[in-house]
């Protein structure tokens, strides 16, 4: 990747480019919360078991476990005039947007139709995620990737806020596209925004080619590249980083599909407000995304992540404790909701410190030729957690009630804190 420029400008010279790349993450921020909030609600029209709902919600994660690494490595080896990531983005994001807009109509038709459209949508949304994510480290020097990841996570957070606090409220509104799209207005608007974001990326982002020095570029076989990742001298922290990613995503992905149901069934909010928890956490994430990148550069990424994990474990443990104490004290529904949303606001502010800095630790170890390998490994472990967690937390809900998933999440955050303890690689060099 070359040595980054130093001097007073620092990351500021890459700020504009990073914001433009962030439009790809903005689209993910639009789609993911609507999908995670309303697909479980749609499934409950046909299914009564939370464990079954959680199991179905892992179908997309199973696709991500296999597709993201494969497509990421494929894009590593792609060479076109548009670059190696943009061809995937230009084809797959628009197709994902089209299929996304069809989810509510299919949910009104039948369970089979809903499962079919969800499967097709996730094929394209999953395939494009690796190239979208790898676009940033391809263009931003390693020492500034925490700051850059803060910016693009902020863009994703803005998409999440727009999705949860504005678009979600339109779930019951009539669609101008006709009765077939009844109840699909937020999905339709999100799809149009995704198309616009693709046009921005096409017009404004230019990928750079590797420096070949007049030599033909060696294409290392995929399996050999993966073996090299785990056998490189001085990179013993790679496995620890990946295990930590697995643990903290087990906590995150275990709770995420059930937050909407928790608000509707326990807190008594309307379906139009079912995305409130994600929206509130998204606001604090947007506020803290960029500062977390800068702070981690100064304190060290590993230290900053471990501090964040301790706070996350505490916040998650406080949710059922406050719920129990509030019930004993006769706290009203509005006050109980306010306490929960305040804790979710704090959760979002701290969680972003983990997500902003974990990817840059892996990218710091990578080089141009295997950036997609490291991106794919990140998703292998994070999506492995996403496959395991929802059925487990769904079963916990069936056995103990909703409060149990927060205790489970707290324990997973502490496990991640432990595995991060021995990491030494992945820190910025300047």
Per-residue pLDDT of the chain (430 residues; tens, 9 = 90+): 444 444 336 778 888 888 888 887 888 888 888 888 888 888 888 887 777 777 777 777 787 777 877 887 788 777 778 778 888 889 999 999 999 989 988 888 888 999 899 889 988 988 888 888 778 877 787 778 888 888 888 888 888 788 877 888 887 776 666 666 677 888 988 999 889 988 888 887 777 655 554 444 555 555 665 665 556 555 557 888 999 999 999 999 898 878 888 888 888 887 777 778 878 888 898 899 889 888 988 888 889 999 999 999 999 999 988 877 777 777 777 888 889 899 999 999 999 999 888 888 887 877 766 677 777 788 888 888 988 888 899 899 989 888 899 999 999 999 999 999 878 777 776 6
| 234 token code pair | 């001085």
In order, the DSSP letters of 322-364 are HHHHHHHTT--HHHHHHHHHHHHHHHHHHHHHHHHHHHHHHHH
Distance CA 392, CA 387 (A): 9
pLDDT at position 97 is 92
Distance CA 370, CA 360 (A): 14
Q: Please enumerate in sequence order all residues whose Cβ is within 8 A of that of 198, keeping only pairs 6 or more positions apart, or say none.
A: 27, 89, 90, 93, 94
Dihedral angle computed from the Cα positions of residues 171, 172, 175 and 179, in that order, rounded to the nearest 10 degrees: 120
Cα diameter, the chain: 75
Distance CA 136, CA 163 (A): 23
DSSP 162: I
10-208+227-421 falls under which CATH superfamily?
MFS general substrate transporter like domains (1.20.1250.20)
* Own/partner long-range contacts of 355-358 (Cβ < 8 Å, ≥24 apart): 355/149, 355/153, 356/146, 356/149, 356/150, 356/153, 356/289, 356/292, 356/293, 356/296, 357/146, 357/149, 357/292, 357/293, 357/296, 357/301, 357/304, 357/305, 358/241, 358/244, 358/245, 358/305
Stretch (H or E) spanning 14: none
| 164 token code pair | 């949860």
In order, the DSSP letters of 206-240 are -PPPP--TTSPPP---HHHHHHHHHHSTT-THHHH
| 340 token code pair | 């929960």
| 27 token code pair | 């689209």
Distance CA 341, CA 78 (A): 45
DSSP 12: G
Prediction pTM value? 0.73
Which residues in 262-271 are b (16+ Cβ under 10 Å) and which e? bbbebbebee
Distance CA 122, CA 207 (A): 26
pLDDT at position 5 is 45
Stretch (H or E) spanning 317: helix 301-328
Contact 385, 242 (CB under 8 A): no
| 43 token code pair | 């499934």
pLDDT at position 304 is 93
Contact 84, 207 (CB under 8 A): yes
DSSP 143: G
3-state SS, residue 171: coil
| 52 token code pair | 């079954």
pLDDT at position 78 is 77
Contact 182, 174 (CB under 8 A): yes
Phi, psi of 78 (to 5 degrees): -90, 135
């Amino acid at each position: 990747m070359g040595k980054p420029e130093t001097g007073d400008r620092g990351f500021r010279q890459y700020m504009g480019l990073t914001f433009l790349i962030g439009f790809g993450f903005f689209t993910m921020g639009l789609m993911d919360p609507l999908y995670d909030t309303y697909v479980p609600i749609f499934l409950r029209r046909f299914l009564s078991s939370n464990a079954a709902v959680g199991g179905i919600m892992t179908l997309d994660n199973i696709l991500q476990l296999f597709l993201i690494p494969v497509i990421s490595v494929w894009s590593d080896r792609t060479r076109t005039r548009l670059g190696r990531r943009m061809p995937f983005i230009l084809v797959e994001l628009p197709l994902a947007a089209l299929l996304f807009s069809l989810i509510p109509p299919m949910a009104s038709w039948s369970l089979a139709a809903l499962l079919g459209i969800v499967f097709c949508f996730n094929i394209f949304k999953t395939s494009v995620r690796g190239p979208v994510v790898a676009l940033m480290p391809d263009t931003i020097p390693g020492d500034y990737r925490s700051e850059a990841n803060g910016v693009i996570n902020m863009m994703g957070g803005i998409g999440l806020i727009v999705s949860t606090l504005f678009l979600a409220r339109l779930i019951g509104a009539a669609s101008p596209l006709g009765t077939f799209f009844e109840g699909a207005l937020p999905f339709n608007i999100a799809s149009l925004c995704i198309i616009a974001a693709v046009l921005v990326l096409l017009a404004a982002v230019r990928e750079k080619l590797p420096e070949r020095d007049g030599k033909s570029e060696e294409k290392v076989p995929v399996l050999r590249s993966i073996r090299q990742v785990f056998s490189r001298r001085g990179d013993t922290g790679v496995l620890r980083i990946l295990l930590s990613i697995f643990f903290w995503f087990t906590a995150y992905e275990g709770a995420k599909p059930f937050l909407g149901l928790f608000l509707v069934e326990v807190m008594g909010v309307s379906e139009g407000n079912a995305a409130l928890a994600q929206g509130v956490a998204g606001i604090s994430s947007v506020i803290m995304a960029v500062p977390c990148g800068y702070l981690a550069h100064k304190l060290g990424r590993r230290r900053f992540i471990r501090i964040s994990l301790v706070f996350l474990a505490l916040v998650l443990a406080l949710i059922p404790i406050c719920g129990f104490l509030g019930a004993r004290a006769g706290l009203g529904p509005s006050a109980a909701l306010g306490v929960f949303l305040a804790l979710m606001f704090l959760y979002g502010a701290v969680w972003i410190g983990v997500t902003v800095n974990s990817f840059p630790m892996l990218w710091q170890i990578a080089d141009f030729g295997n950036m997609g390998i490291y991106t794919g490994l990140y998703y292998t472990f994070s999506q492995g957690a996403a496959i395991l967690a929802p059925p487990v937390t769904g079963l916990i809900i069936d056995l103990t009630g909703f409060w149990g998933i927060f205790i489970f999440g707290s324990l997973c955050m502490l496990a991640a804190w432990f595995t991060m303890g021995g990491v030494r690689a992945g820190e910025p060099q300047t």
